[in-house]
Amino acid sequence: ETKDRVVIVSNYTQTLDLMQLLCRQNGYPVMRLDGSTGISKRQKLVRQFNDPTENCFVFLLSSKAGGCGINLVGGNRLILFDPDWNPANDKQAAARCWRDGQKKKCYLYRLFATGSIEEKVFQRQLSKESLQNVVNGEGTLEQSSMSKEELRRLFTLDETTVSDTHDGVGCDKCPGSHFAGHHPEGAVPGPDGKPPATWELIQPWEEQDEDAQEANIETWGHHHRMCTVPDPIMRRAAGDDVSFIFSLKVEG
Protein backbone atom coordinates (compact mmCIF):
# COMPACT_ATOMS: atom_id res chain seq x y z
CA GLU A 1 0.00 0.00 0.00
CA THR A 2 2.92 2.32 0.64
CA LYS A 3 6.64 2.41 -0.06
CA ASP A 4 7.33 4.58 3.00
CA ARG A 5 10.16 3.53 5.27
CA VAL A 6 10.31 3.97 9.03
CA VAL A 7 13.09 5.24 11.31
CA ILE A 8 12.71 4.45 15.02
CA VAL A 9 14.91 6.47 17.40
CA SER A 10 15.48 5.58 21.05
CA ASN A 11 17.82 6.67 23.82
CA TYR A 12 18.20 3.10 25.06
CA THR A 13 19.78 0.07 23.39
CA GLN A 14 17.45 -2.20 25.40
CA THR A 15 14.50 -0.56 23.66
CA LEU A 16 16.17 -1.11 20.29
CA ASP A 17 16.64 -4.77 21.25
CA LEU A 18 12.90 -5.09 21.79
CA MET A 19 12.06 -3.24 18.58
CA GLN A 20 14.46 -5.44 16.61
CA LEU A 21 12.82 -8.56 18.03
CA LEU A 22 9.32 -7.29 17.16
CA CYS A 23 10.40 -6.41 13.62
CA ARG A 24 11.79 -9.90 13.06
CA GLN A 25 8.70 -11.54 14.53
CA ASN A 26 6.52 -9.55 12.12
CA GLY A 27 8.77 -10.18 9.15
CA TYR A 28 9.86 -6.54 8.70
CA PRO A 29 13.30 -6.13 7.04
CA VAL A 30 15.27 -4.16 9.65
CA MET A 31 18.63 -2.41 10.00
CA ARG A 32 20.19 -1.13 13.20
CA LEU A 33 22.79 1.50 14.07
CA ASP A 34 23.94 2.06 17.65
CA GLY A 35 27.12 2.77 19.60
CA SER A 36 28.56 -0.66 18.86
CA THR A 37 28.34 -0.16 15.08
CA GLY A 38 31.71 0.53 13.42
CA ILE A 39 32.28 3.63 11.29
CA SER A 40 32.59 1.75 8.00
CA LYS A 41 29.50 -0.33 8.72
CA ARG A 42 27.52 2.82 9.62
CA GLN A 43 28.17 4.31 6.21
CA LYS A 44 27.17 1.04 4.54
CA LEU A 45 23.91 0.83 6.52
CA VAL A 46 22.97 4.43 5.71
CA ARG A 47 23.75 3.92 2.04
CA GLN A 48 21.65 0.75 1.87
CA PHE A 49 18.70 2.31 3.69
CA ASN A 50 18.68 5.32 1.36
CA ASP A 51 18.75 3.05 -1.70
CA PRO A 52 15.12 2.43 -2.82
CA THR A 53 16.12 -0.88 -4.41
CA GLU A 54 17.30 -2.36 -1.10
CA ASN A 55 14.95 -4.57 0.91
CA CYS A 56 14.53 -2.57 4.11
CA PHE A 57 11.49 -1.25 5.96
CA VAL A 58 12.67 -0.23 9.45
CA PHE A 59 15.88 1.52 10.55
CA LEU A 60 16.59 1.37 14.29
CA LEU A 61 18.75 4.26 15.47
CA SER A 62 20.37 5.07 18.79
CA SER A 63 19.95 8.79 19.42
CA LYS A 64 23.39 9.03 21.03
CA ALA A 65 25.16 7.20 18.19
CA GLY A 66 23.34 8.70 15.23
CA GLY A 67 21.24 11.60 16.44
CA CYS A 68 23.42 14.12 14.62
CA GLY A 69 25.00 14.14 11.17
CA ILE A 70 23.40 11.02 9.69
CA ASN A 71 21.31 11.43 6.54
CA LEU A 72 18.37 9.01 6.42
CA VAL A 73 16.29 10.50 3.62
CA GLY A 74 15.39 6.96 2.55
CA GLY A 75 12.85 7.07 5.37
CA ASN A 76 10.02 9.56 5.72
CA ARG A 77 8.26 8.33 8.85
CA LEU A 78 10.34 8.86 11.98
CA ILE A 79 9.29 7.71 15.44
CA LEU A 80 10.85 9.26 18.56
CA PHE A 81 10.09 6.41 20.92
CA ASP A 82 11.21 8.09 24.15
CA PRO A 83 11.83 11.76 25.02
CA ASP A 84 15.12 13.38 25.98
CA TRP A 85 15.28 15.99 28.74
CA ASN A 86 17.05 18.27 26.26
CA PRO A 87 14.67 19.28 23.42
CA ALA A 88 17.66 20.06 21.19
CA ASN A 89 18.64 16.38 21.19
CA ASP A 90 15.18 15.33 20.05
CA LYS A 91 15.19 17.97 17.32
CA GLN A 92 18.54 16.71 16.08
CA ALA A 93 17.20 13.15 15.94
CA ALA A 94 14.00 14.26 14.22
CA ALA A 95 16.03 15.95 11.48
CA ARG A 96 17.53 12.66 10.24
CA CYS A 97 14.77 12.30 7.61
CA TRP A 98 13.55 15.85 7.02
CA ARG A 99 16.62 17.32 5.32
CA ASP A 100 18.13 18.13 1.92
CA GLY A 101 17.52 15.31 -0.53
CA GLN A 102 14.18 14.26 0.93
CA LYS A 103 11.58 13.97 -1.84
CA LYS A 104 8.64 12.64 0.16
CA LYS A 105 6.29 14.11 2.75
CA CYS A 106 7.72 13.49 6.21
CA TYR A 107 5.87 12.37 9.31
CA LEU A 108 7.29 12.68 12.83
CA TYR A 109 5.68 10.71 15.64
CA ARG A 110 6.37 11.23 19.33
CA LEU A 111 5.01 8.55 21.65
CA PHE A 112 4.19 9.04 25.34
CA ALA A 113 2.61 6.78 27.93
CA THR A 114 -0.37 8.82 29.14
CA GLY A 115 -0.01 10.30 32.61
CA SER A 116 3.55 9.00 33.01
CA ILE A 117 6.94 10.64 33.51
CA GLU A 118 7.37 10.64 29.71
CA GLU A 119 4.63 13.26 29.37
CA LYS A 120 6.26 15.29 32.14
CA VAL A 121 9.59 15.21 30.29
CA PHE A 122 7.85 16.47 27.16
CA GLN A 123 6.21 19.25 29.15
CA ARG A 124 9.60 20.31 30.49
CA GLN A 125 10.84 20.39 26.90
CA LEU A 126 8.06 22.82 26.05
CA SER A 127 9.06 25.00 29.02
CA LYS A 128 12.69 25.06 27.88
CA GLU A 129 11.67 26.00 24.34
CA SER A 130 9.53 28.84 25.71
CA LEU A 131 12.56 30.08 27.65
CA GLN A 132 14.66 29.90 24.48
CA ASN A 133 12.04 32.01 22.69
CA VAL A 134 12.44 34.66 25.39
CA VAL A 135 16.21 34.69 24.82
CA ASN A 136 15.54 35.13 21.10
CA GLY A 137 13.06 37.92 21.78
CA GLU A 138 10.11 35.86 20.55
CA GLY A 139 8.10 35.38 23.72
CA THR A 140 7.42 36.36 27.31
CA LEU A 141 9.13 34.90 30.35
CA GLU A 142 7.24 32.33 32.38
CA GLN A 143 8.37 30.37 35.43
CA SER A 144 10.62 27.53 34.26
CA SER A 145 12.02 26.28 37.57
CA MET A 146 10.46 23.18 39.09
CA SER A 147 8.68 23.43 42.44
CA LYS A 148 8.66 20.63 45.01
CA GLU A 149 5.08 19.78 44.06
CA GLU A 150 5.97 19.60 40.37
CA LEU A 151 8.92 17.38 41.22
CA ARG A 152 6.62 15.07 43.18
CA ARG A 153 4.12 14.95 40.32
CA LEU A 154 6.95 14.08 37.95
CA PHE A 155 7.11 10.59 39.46
CA THR A 156 3.35 10.14 39.94
CA LEU A 157 1.39 8.07 37.43
CA ASP A 158 -2.04 9.52 36.62
CA GLU A 159 -4.21 6.67 35.39
CA THR A 160 -7.38 8.77 35.07
CA THR A 161 -6.35 11.14 32.28
CA VAL A 162 -6.38 10.72 28.50
CA SER A 163 -3.67 13.38 28.18
CA ASP A 164 -1.88 15.05 31.07
CA THR A 165 -0.34 17.49 28.59
CA HIS A 166 -3.74 18.60 27.30
CA ASP A 167 -5.04 18.90 30.86
CA GLY A 168 -2.21 21.26 31.75
CA VAL A 169 -2.02 23.35 28.60
CA GLY A 170 -5.01 25.52 29.54
CA CYS A 171 -6.81 24.72 26.30
CA ASP A 172 -9.88 26.84 25.58
CA LYS A 173 -10.34 25.52 22.01
CA CYS A 174 -11.83 22.13 22.75
CA PRO A 175 -15.48 22.21 23.91
CA GLY A 176 -15.70 20.71 27.37
CA SER A 177 -11.99 21.09 28.02
CA HIS A 178 -12.78 22.71 31.36
CA PHE A 179 -13.21 19.20 32.72
CA ALA A 180 -10.76 17.40 30.48
CA GLY A 181 -8.98 14.69 32.44
CA HIS A 182 -11.62 14.74 35.18
CA HIS A 183 -15.09 13.31 35.60
CA PRO A 184 -17.73 16.04 36.13
CA GLU A 185 -20.26 15.75 38.92
CA GLY A 186 -23.43 13.97 37.88
CA ALA A 187 -21.76 11.95 35.12
CA VAL A 188 -23.74 8.77 34.43
CA PRO A 189 -21.64 5.66 35.09
CA GLY A 190 -21.02 3.25 32.23
CA PRO A 191 -21.84 -0.48 32.16
CA ASP A 192 -18.77 -1.24 34.27
CA GLY A 193 -19.88 1.19 36.95
CA LYS A 194 -17.15 3.71 36.11
CA PRO A 195 -17.71 7.33 34.96
CA PRO A 196 -17.52 7.85 31.19
CA ALA A 197 -14.07 8.51 29.79
CA THR A 198 -13.11 12.10 29.03
CA TRP A 199 -13.21 11.55 25.25
CA GLU A 200 -16.91 10.58 25.50
CA LEU A 201 -17.76 13.96 27.01
CA ILE A 202 -16.07 16.36 24.60
CA GLN A 203 -15.98 17.16 20.91
CA PRO A 204 -13.76 14.93 18.77
CA TRP A 205 -11.18 17.44 17.55
CA GLU A 206 -10.00 20.98 16.88
CA GLU A 207 -7.94 21.97 13.84
CA GLN A 208 -4.56 23.63 14.26
CA ASP A 209 -4.50 27.44 14.22
CA GLU A 210 -3.65 29.21 10.99
CA ASP A 211 -0.60 30.70 12.70
CA ALA A 212 0.28 27.52 14.62
CA GLN A 213 3.70 27.58 16.27
CA GLU A 214 5.88 24.54 16.91
CA ALA A 215 6.75 25.72 20.42
CA ASN A 216 3.10 26.37 21.37
CA ILE A 217 1.22 23.08 21.51
CA GLU A 218 -2.06 24.86 22.27
CA THR A 219 -2.08 26.06 18.64
CA TRP A 220 -1.73 22.53 17.24
CA GLY A 221 -4.59 20.28 16.20
CA HIS A 222 -6.19 18.47 19.15
CA HIS A 223 -7.67 15.03 18.47
CA HIS A 224 -9.73 13.18 21.05
CA ARG A 225 -10.43 10.39 18.58
CA MET A 226 -8.09 8.64 16.16
CA CYS A 227 -10.56 8.91 13.27
CA THR A 228 -9.92 12.67 12.94
CA VAL A 229 -6.12 12.45 12.57
CA PRO A 230 -5.07 13.51 9.02
CA ASP A 231 -2.82 10.48 8.55
CA PRO A 232 -4.48 7.27 7.27
CA ILE A 233 -1.40 5.15 8.01
CA MET A 234 -1.39 6.21 11.65
CA ARG A 235 -5.15 5.71 11.96
CA ARG A 236 -4.78 2.14 10.75
CA ALA A 237 -1.72 1.31 12.83
CA ALA A 238 -2.74 2.86 16.16
CA GLY A 239 -6.22 1.42 16.61
CA ASP A 240 -7.64 1.91 20.11
CA ASP A 241 -4.28 2.09 21.87
CA VAL A 242 -3.95 5.88 21.49
CA SER A 243 -6.05 8.08 23.80
CA PHE A 244 -5.12 11.58 22.55
CA ILE A 245 -3.20 13.12 19.65
CA PHE A 246 -1.63 16.52 19.04
CA SER A 247 -0.94 17.18 15.35
CA LEU A 248 1.00 19.91 13.56
CA LYS A 249 1.48 20.34 9.82
CA VAL A 250 4.54 22.37 8.85
CA GLU A 251 5.08 23.58 5.29
CA GLY A 252 8.55 23.36 3.88
pLDDT value at 163 more than 70: yes
61-65, 132-136, 203-207: least confidently modelled range: 132-136
Write down the pLDDT at residue 125.
82
Residue 166's contacts (CB-CB under 8 Å, 6 or more residues apart) are 174, 177, 180, 181, 222, 244, 246
Residue ranges per structural domain of the chain: 6-110, 121-247
pLDDT value at 44 more than 70: yes
The class (CATH top level) of 6-110 is alpha beta
What is the average pLDDT across 153-177? Answer: 80
Write down the pLDDT at residue 172.
81
Phi/psi at 173 (5° precision): -85, -40
Write down the pLDDT at residue 108.
95
Write down the pLDDT at residue 26.
96
123-132, 207-216, 222-231: least confidently modelled range: 123-132
Read off the pTM. Answer: 0.80
Please list the alpha-helical segments (H only) found in the chain.
Answer: 13-25, 39-50, 63-66, 87-94, 117-135, 148-154, 164-168, 232-238
Contact between residue 218 and residue 210 where contact means Cβ atoms under 8 Å apart: no
Residues 94-111 pLDDT 10s: 899 988 889 899 999 999
Q: Are strands 77-80 and 107-110 parallel, antiparallel or unpaired?
A: parallel
% of the chain with per-residue pLDDT over 90 = 38
Q: Which residue has the higher pLDDT, 146 or 247?
A: 247
pLDDT value at 199 more than 50: no
